[in-house]
């Protein structure tokens, strides 16, 4: 009898737990749907507000001033900024002329918001930097003060915040701002992945050739990681650096990763005077990863049969293979 009672108790507890989980799941689903509906409603309100504001722009100085005060009061909240960004994206895609006029008349507002967000924690600074990166037009043509405020976000930042600031500066198209941030990264020994930097640089909204020239001039005093990112960016945008890169490959003290980046440049942009040094990397390998990259580049060059045979000999063996300890994911290499 007692045993049966215990079984009923266990079954009852199990049913209570199951019912509780069902109630919890339905509550979460209902709350999520409600939040989605509320967010959609807020976006619609912002869309209507922006539309009315753009329609009433001409000759409405008082209204514009009221709108600015409203934005400064509401958009200091990052959640409101995110909703506002979605409404602004709608205005940009559906009414581009109205969008351009709106942001042109709102430069001061966005600059004031940048200053206000500069006093906030890094997460909120990251949010505003991302907003500027999405809508670089809000910076205006001069954009000097806004750029300086964005650069100040680097202080007490994490890697995510730094990347969003860097993306924003590339979207604005300010060469001086981009160089300034990279110089800060070097001076403070901050980490930024070279490939991510090169990717953002390739989205630079301006003269990329001129940017490449400036970055290459500055990179000679930067750390090797930043130099690699500059070379990767140049590889994407220019074929004019073959002669300038060659002395670095001939420098025995040059960093291996920098040399690999340059060899990949010669794979993308044919430069025949580089053939002898590429062959030397294969026949007298100082680093197996560098030798593999050199062989990959030479496959695109008119190399003689003898050189090809030497290359094959240098990278072939009787069956022993290894991976570089610095690059465990690299292909198996003969030794």
- Whether 19 is in a domain gets the answer no
pLDDT value for 313: 52
Which contacts of 66-75 are long-range, i.e. CB under 8 A and separated by 24 or more positions? 68/106, 68/108, 68/109, 71/106, 71/109, 71/113, 72/109, 72/112, 72/113, 72/116, 75/113
CA distance 277 to 303: 12
pLDDT value for 326: 43
Residues 242/274, Cβ–Cβ less than 8 Å: yes
Shared-domain flag, residues 226 and 122: yes
**310 vs 275, more confident:** 275
Distance of CA 46 to the CA centre of its chain: 28
Shared-domain flag, residues 192 and 168: yes
Least confident of 50-54, 213-217, 310-314: 310-314
CA distance 168 to 138: 11
Shared-domain flag, residues 166 and 228: yes
Least confident of 45-59, 220-234, 306-320: 306-320
pTM metric for this prediction = 0.80
- Reduced DSSP (H G I as helix, E B as strand, rest coil) percent helix, strand, coil of the chain, to 5: 75, 0, 25
Domain stops at, among 195, 212, 238:
238
Say if residue 2's pLDDT is above 80.
no
pLDDT value for 209: 96
- Whether 133 is in a domain gets the answer yes
CA distance 112 to 311: 61
Domain stops at, among 238, 272, 302:
238
- Whether 42 is in a domain gets the answer yes
- Whether 282 is in a domain gets the answer no
Tell me the pLDDT tens digit for each residue of 103-151. Answer: 988 899 999 999 999 999 999 999 999 999 999 999 887 677 899 999 9
Count of structural domains within the chain: 2
- Whether 305 is in a domain gets the answer no
Tell me the pLDDT tens digit for each residue of 270-309. Answer: 999 999 999 999 988 889 999 999 999 999 988 764 455 4
Domain stops at, among 197, 213, 238:
238
Give strand pairing partners of 333.
Answer: 322
Q: Which domain holds residue 178?
A: 106-238
Shared-domain flag, residues 110 and 100: no
Shared-domain flag, residues 89 and 147: no
CA distance 50 to 48: 6
- Whether 317 is in a domain gets the answer no
pLDDT value for 328: 44
> Tokens 């002329």 sit at which residue?
97
CA distances from residue 91 to 73, 74, 108, 131, 133 in whole angstroms, order as listed: 21, 19, 19, 15, 17
- Whether 156 is in a domain gets the answer yes
- Whether 253 is in a domain gets the answer no
Shared-domain flag, residues 111 and 208: yes
């Amino acid at each position: 009898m007692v045993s049966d009672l215990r079984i009923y108790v266990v079954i009852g507890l199990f049913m209570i737990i199951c019912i509780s989980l069902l109630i919890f799941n339905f509550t979460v689903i209902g709350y999520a749907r409600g939040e989605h509906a509320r967010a959609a409603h807020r976006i619609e309100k912002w869309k209507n507000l922006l539309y009315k504001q753009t329609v009433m722009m001409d000759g409405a100085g008082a209204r514009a001033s009221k709108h600015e005060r409203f934005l400064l009061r509401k958009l200091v909240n990052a959640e409101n900024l995110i909703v506002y960004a979605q409404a602004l994206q709608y205005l940009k895609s559906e009414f581009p002329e109205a969008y351009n006029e709106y942001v042109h008349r709102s430069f001061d507002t966005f600059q004031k918001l940048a200053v206000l967000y500069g006093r906030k924690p890094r997460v909120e600074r990251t949010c505003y930097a991302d907003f500027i990166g999405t809508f670089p037009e809000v910076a205006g043509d001069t954009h000097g003060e806004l750029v300086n405020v964005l650069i100040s976000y680097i202080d007490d930042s994490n890697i995510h915040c730094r990347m969003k600031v860097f993306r924003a500066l590339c979207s604005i198209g300010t060469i001086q701002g981009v160089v300034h941030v990279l110089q800060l990264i070097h001076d403070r020994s901050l980490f930024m992945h070279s490939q991510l930097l090169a990717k953002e640089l390739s989205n630079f909204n301006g003269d990329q050739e001129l940017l490449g020239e400036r970055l290459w001039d500055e990179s000679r005093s930067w750390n090797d990681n930043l130099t690699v990112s500059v070379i990767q960016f140049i590889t994407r945008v220019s074929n004019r650096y073959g002669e300038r890169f060659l002395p670095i490959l001939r420098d025995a003290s040059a960093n291996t990763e920098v040399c690999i980046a340059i060899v990949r440049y010669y794979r993308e942009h044919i430069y025949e005077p580089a053939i002898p040094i590429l062959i030397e990397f294969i026949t007298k390998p100082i680093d197996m990863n560098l030798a593999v990259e050199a062989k990959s580049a030479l496959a695109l060059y008119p190399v003689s049969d003898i050189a090809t045979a030497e290359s094959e000999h240098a990278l072939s063996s009787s069956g022993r293979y290894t991976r570089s300890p610095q690059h465990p994911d690299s292909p198996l290499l003969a030794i």
